[in-house]
């Protein structure tokens, strides 16, 4: 085995040094090597300066046996470092020429500071770079001292280099891990204050001072409306008056404009520093670290840190932490501002609801008129399928609605107070707009049909529905079109209305709004007719209410109708899925029940529906859109549209109901009769009326009804 080729070192000493470096931390490895080189070179103190290629920085962590509290980083501005790296040979110089911070740091170890030092470059064994420098301060004055010292250092690192580099890498990873953990803890603290912006800003300043060990911190947010930087919280304290400065003024203004961090090591020598503030406050600003705070696109503020504690100035570590910290600041501030907007919107919404309910408040006189009405409210055909409740006097409709709940024994079964039921119905009535079709009378007609189903088909007695489901069915029918705007879901979506923005992601825009209005009424004092239910029944009733109201969306009906048709052959009352399909079927039947009344009623209903349709079509035209033909008063052929509607939707729907309940066959017959009447109307429209008359004008002509019925009777 060949001898070790060492120029100036004892092989045994090198081996002993290498064997002593195992299981040591980074600083301990450096201390061991520093002491070895100190002894071999006769230096007063020895230390390493690792060179970071990526950031072009020099690092000092240990001086002799002293581990620095905070490692020192500085750029390659020192001539001795630049020359040693560039020439790849040792450089002798005066300590007075060393980097100022390094001089100050050395003085804490050696005082007075010797004049002489030697920088020895250590090349990387596998890369063409100088990996670190070894600084020998006040080494032995012997012949060829620099040559001997250089050889001793290079001999040492020829065998210790791997251990040193690995320990430095380990310490760097440990530092980054601690930094990440610290920043995650900071994020957790910041996000716990999102609900209150001033508290969040205070927390940001506390954390900024802690992370960088700064004496003071100020935080400015950009006011884009006034082009100013505003500090409502200054140095962690609430001020009576906010501080405002021009966004292009001073150090903070420069950082906003440039979007770059600014590290000022001597504040009084910087041209942007305003000394007047120190003169007024008596505070002495030594150094400043100012960094921008951004959202996704722009700078939204700046944080300004003053006076590094325990250091000469803010260093690159502080810059690195500040850059990372600023990201969390930006995220938390923007989320806080958005959260505040949401809170404000919720408050405005709550206020609007309160105002709405106040202005829609049921008059006590109206309540008493219903509660103490002495009329019998009996109609001989009220319980017949072919009876249209639209013939009832509008003033008596609320009384008839109460009568339906009472007749089905729901008031007694569910302990509903009569004044609560009455108030609920009157509130619902006030929540319907004066649209041609989707109004209070439509809601009552739909609820009346649910009453007919419960009464005539004995849905509760025969176990098709529970009593709670029966009650909720009635309530859902009353509420299913609350606050209807007379427009379709597709119109809401295309127009980008407020309702669409609220509910478009879930679908069934209008139905979800109707449900929200229903819940709003139930939450109004004195209106909750579910108040007498147990907790479980109450929760279940609200779930049912949602399910039932959403079922009135025809788009939903089309999706499930094929499954509903299968119920005819195999309906299982105890099957939850069958029950859900069955309830949806009942709701659709109730909603479209006007089509099973007499031809006269059906014709008048068509008149109301197409008035709504054409109003929407006119609105779409004014917005530059092309409406569907059925919405276009100039193109719609109402008889043809009604025939298609009855054939494709109504007759199959009620035919399915008849399959489960044969006693409802009269509904299918009525729908088919109405289809025949519309068929007669097609020819009459074409032959007996001028072409310049619109469909609506023809429908309002009493002669149409007479001729259609006469034609059907003759056939």
291: β partners? 303
**676 annotated ligand binder:** no
Question: For 355, how many CA atoms within 13 A lie in the half-sphere containing its CB?
Answer: 6
**127 annotated ligand binder:** no
**513 annotated ligand binder:** no
Q: Quote the DSSP letter at residue 96.
A: G
Give the integer Cα–Cα distance in Å for 395 and 256.
67
Give the integer Cα–Cα distance in Å for 302 and 231.
10
402 in Cβ contact with 418 (< 8 Å): yes
Structure tokens that stand for 440 in this block: 């209070």
212 in Cβ contact with 318 (< 8 Å): yes
Closest to 398 (Cα-Cα) out of 345, 440, 336: 440
Give the integer Cα–Cα distance in Å for 495 and 195.
33
Phi, psi of 462 (to 5 degrees): -90, 5
Distances (CA, A) of 584 to 477, 537, 553, 560: 12, 20, 10, 9
Phi, psi of 121 (to 5 degrees): -75, 140
**438 annotated ligand binder:** yes
How many C-beta atoms lie closer than 10 Å to residue 108's C-beta? 10
Question: For 317, how many CA atoms within 13 A lie in the half-sphere containing its CB?
Answer: 21
**481 annotated ligand binder:** yes
- For the purposes of burial, counting CB atoms within 10 Å of the CB of 661, is it exposed (0-12), middle (13-18) or buried (19 or more)? middle
658 in Cβ contact with 683 (< 8 Å): no
Give the integer Cα–Cα distance in Å for 521 and 528.
7
Give the integer Cα–Cα distance in Å for 545 and 178.
54
589 in Cβ contact with 596 (< 8 Å): no
Q: How many residues does the chain have?
A: 715
**543 annotated ligand binder:** no
Three-class SS state of 330: helix
**616 annotated ligand binder:** no
124: β partners? none
**104 annotated ligand binder:** no
**386 annotated ligand binder:** no
- Torsion-angle region of 586 (φ positive above 0: left; ψ -120 to 50: alpha; else: beta): alpha
- The catalytic residue positions are 438
**DSSP labels for 638-649?**
HHHHHHHHIIII
Going by the annotation, the residues of the binding site are: 438-442, 480-481, 591, 642
Going by the annotation, the residues of the binding site for Zn(2+) are: 442, 480-481, 591
Going by the annotation, the residues of the binding site for AMP are: 438-442, 481, 591, 642
């Amino acid at each position: 085995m060949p001898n070790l080729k060492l120029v100036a070192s004892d092989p045994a000493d090198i081996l002993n040094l290498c064997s002593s470096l195992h299981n040591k931390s980074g600083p301990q490895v450096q201390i061991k090597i520093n002491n070895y080189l100190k002894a071999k070179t006769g230096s007063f103190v020895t230390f390493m300066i690792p060179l970071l290629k990526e950031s072009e920085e020099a690092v000092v962590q240990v001086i002799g046996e002293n581990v620095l509290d905070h490692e020192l980083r500085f750029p390659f501005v020192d001539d001795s470092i630049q020359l040693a790296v560039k020439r790849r040979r040792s450089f002798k110089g005066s300590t007075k020429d060393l980097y100022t911070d390094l001089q100050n740091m050395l003085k804490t170890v050696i005082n007075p500071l010797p004049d002489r030092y030697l920088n020895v470059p250590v090349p990387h064994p596998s890369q063409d770079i100088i990996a670190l420098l070894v600084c020998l301060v006040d080494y032995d004055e012997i012949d060829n001292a620099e040559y001997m010292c250089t050889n001793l250092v290079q001999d040492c690192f020829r065998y210790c280099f791997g251990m040193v580099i690995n320990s430095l890498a380990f310490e760097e990873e440990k530092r980054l891990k601690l930094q990440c953990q610290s920043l995650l803890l900071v994020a957790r603290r910041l996000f716990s204050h999102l609900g209150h912006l001033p508290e969040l800003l205070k927390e940001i300043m506390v954390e900024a001072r802690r992370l960088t060990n700064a004496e003071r911190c100020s935080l400015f947010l950009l006011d884009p409306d006034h082009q100013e930087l505003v500090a409502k919280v200054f140095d962690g304290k609430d001020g009576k008056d906010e501080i405002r400065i021009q966004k292009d003024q001073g150090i903070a203004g420069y950082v906003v404009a440039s979007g770059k961090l600014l590290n000022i090591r001597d504040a009084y020598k910087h041209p942007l520093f305003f000394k007047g503030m120190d003169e007024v406050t008596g505070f002495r600003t030594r150094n400043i670290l100012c960094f921008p705070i951004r959202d996704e696109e722009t700078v939204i503020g700046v944080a300004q840190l003053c006076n590094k504690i325990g250091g000469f100035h803010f260093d690159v570590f502080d810059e690195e932490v500040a850059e990372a910290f600023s990201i969390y600041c930006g995220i938390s501030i923007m989320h806080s501002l958005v959260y505040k907007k949401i809170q404000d919107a919720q408050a405005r919404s709550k206020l609007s609801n309160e105002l709405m309910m106040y202005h829609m408040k049921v008059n006590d006189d109206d309540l008493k008129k219903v509660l103490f009405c002495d009329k019998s409210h009996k109609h001989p055909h009220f319980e017949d399928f072919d009876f249209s409740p639209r013939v009832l006097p509008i003033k008596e409709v609320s009384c008839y609605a109460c009568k339906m709940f009472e007749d089905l024994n729901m008031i007694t079964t569910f302990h509903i107070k009569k004044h609560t039921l009455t108030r609920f119905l009157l509130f619902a009535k006030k929540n319907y707009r004066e649209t041609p079709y989707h109004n209070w009378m439509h809601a009552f007609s739909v609820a009346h049909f649910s009453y007919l189903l419960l009464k005539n088909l004995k849905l509760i007695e025969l176990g098709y529905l529970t009593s709670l489901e029966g009650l909720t069915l009635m309530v859902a029918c009353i509420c299913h079109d609350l606050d209807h705007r007379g427009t379709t879901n597709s119109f809401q979506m295309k127009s980008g209305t407020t309702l669409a923005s609220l509910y478009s992601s879930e679908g069934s825009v209008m139905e979800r709004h109707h449900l929200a209005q229903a819940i709003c009424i139930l939450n109004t004092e004195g209106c909750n007719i579910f108040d007498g239910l147990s907790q479980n029944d109450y929760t279940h009733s609200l779930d049912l209410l949602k399910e039932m109201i959403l079922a009135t969306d025809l788009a939903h009906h089309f999706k499930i109708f094929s499954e509903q048709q299968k119920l005819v052959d195999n309906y299982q009352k105890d099957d939850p899925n069958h029950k859900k399909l069955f309830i949806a079927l009942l709701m659709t039947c109730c909603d479209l029940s006007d089509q099973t009344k007499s031809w006269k009623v059906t014709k008048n209903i068509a008149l109301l529906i197409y008035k709504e349709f054409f109003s929407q079509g006119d609105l779409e035209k004014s917005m530059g859109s092309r409406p569907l033909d059925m919405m276009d008063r100039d193109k719609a052929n109402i008889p043809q549209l009604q025939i298609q509607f009855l054939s494709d939707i109504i007759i199959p729907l009620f035919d399915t109901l008849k399959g489960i309940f044969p006693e409802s066959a009269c509904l299918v017959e009525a729908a088919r009769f109405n289809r025949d009447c519309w068929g007669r109307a097609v020819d009459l429209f074409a032959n007996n009326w001028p072409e310049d008359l619109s469909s609506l004008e023809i429908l309002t002509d009493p002669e149409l009804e007479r001729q259609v019925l006469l034609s059907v009777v003759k056939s």
